[in-house]
Amino acid sequence: MPSESRPSTPRLSTRLRFGVAALLVAVGAAASLAVAPELPERMVTRWNGPGEPTGTLPRTLGLWLVPGLAAGLVGLFALLPRIDPLGENIAAFRVHYDRFVVVFTAFLVGLHLAVLAVNLGYAVDVTTIAVAGGAALFYYLGALLPHVEPNWFVGIRTPWTLSDDAVWERTHALGARLFKLSAVIAAIGLLFGEYAVYFLVGPALATAAVTVAYSYVVYRRTTTAEGGGDGSEGTDGDAAIRAER
């Protein structure tokens, strides 16, 4: 009897963690519903680096865009492991995957609550909250990546990482370090006021570019080594065929 109960434990834990993510979405939606009558017809929803408003949305869209997006993404995150042909690989790091869903949802809902607060007249620095939340998200990505097994939806998926497990592993090891470094740089950026957002976006773009390039370089080195180095075998073979002709 005890052995029959073990398989249900991961599913129960996954349901619990996704339940937390759903609860966070519900908190964002409830907040929108509660403050809707007190908000202006057009809500400020975008700011520049110094924190000056640069864009607005109609109240209805401003209230429900992020809760709706968060709900849709939580549903998508729940679906992906079921439809991935390599779903058993996701199961191998499912705890870390589920926690990422919770962290990401908390990030979105936190931003939404900050936007609501600003539009209610509270002095909230949304840019600072976005950078701090982004730094936390990057750091957790750095913690997640070393555990990610090859799959079609999660991780650093380039043609080269998807073609070779060794390339996948090495690229994710590098990506983990770079995302944690990006998180530290973003946190330091909070000390630089209006320039803080650049400390978040810049390292993120650099990390994306470096990991893609690195996966290509590692793949080329791996395939070259496996193919005998300079390809002379293929050249000699072609010459032999021409001689026979």
Is 40 part of a structural domain of the chain? yes
What residues contact residue 135 under an 8 Å CB cut-off, 6+ apart?
A: 182, 183, 184, 186, 187, 190, 200
User: Do residue 4 and residue 84 come from a single domain?
Assistant: yes
Is 13 part of a structural domain of the chain? yes
Is 236 part of a structural domain of the chain? no
Which residue, of 123, 150, 168, is where some domain finishes? 123
User: How far is it, in rounded angstroms, from Cα 212 to Cα 206?
Assistant: 10
Is 62 part of a structural domain of the chain? yes
Is 244 part of a structural domain of the chain? no
49-92 confidence digits (pLDDT tens): 787 889 999 999 999 999 999 999 999 999 999 999 999 999 99
Is 223 part of a structural domain of the chain? yes
User: Do residue 21 and residue 112 come from a single domain?
Assistant: yes
Q: Residue 178: pLDDT above 70?
A: yes
**Average pLDDT for residues 125-144, to the nearest whole number?**
96
**Residue 53 forms beta bridges with which residues?**
47
User: Do residue 71 and residue 21 come from a single domain?
Assistant: yes
Domain span at residue 59 reads: 1-123
Is 241 part of a structural domain of the chain? no
User: Do residue 157 and residue 206 come from a single domain?
Assistant: yes
**Average pLDDT for residues 106-127, to the nearest whole number?**
96
pLDDT at 235: 41
Question: Which of helix, strand or coil describes residue 55?
Answer: strand
Q: What is the pTM of this model?
A: 0.84
Query: 23-27, 42-46, 201-205, 240-244: lowest mean pLDDT where?
Result: 240-244
What the block records as the tokens of 55 is 């864009």
pLDDT at 149: 97
User: Do residue 142 and residue 192 come from a single domain?
Assistant: yes
Q: Quote the number of domains for the chain.
A: 2
Is 242 part of a structural domain of the chain? no
pLDDT at 138: 97
User: Do residue 54 and residue 16 come from a single domain?
Assistant: yes
Which residue, of 123, 144, 171, is where some domain finishes? 123
User: Do residue 164 and residue 96 come from a single domain?
Assistant: no
136-163 b/e with 16+ CB inside 10 Å = b? bbbbbbbbbbeebbbbebbbbbbebbbe
Amino acid at position 13, single letter: S
User: How far is it, in rounded angstroms, from Cα 24 to Cα 9?
Assistant: 23
pLDDT at 225: 80
User: Do residue 117 and residue 14 come from a single domain?
Assistant: yes
pLDDT at 10: 59
CB 86 within 8 A of CB 147: no
Q: What are phi and psi of 221, to 5 degrees?
A: -65, -40
User: Do residue 100 and residue 177 come from a single domain?
Assistant: no
pLDDT at 31: 98
- DSSP classification of residue 145: G
Which residue, of 106, 123, 140, is where some domain finishes? 123
User: Do residue 1 and residue 109 come from a single domain?
Assistant: yes
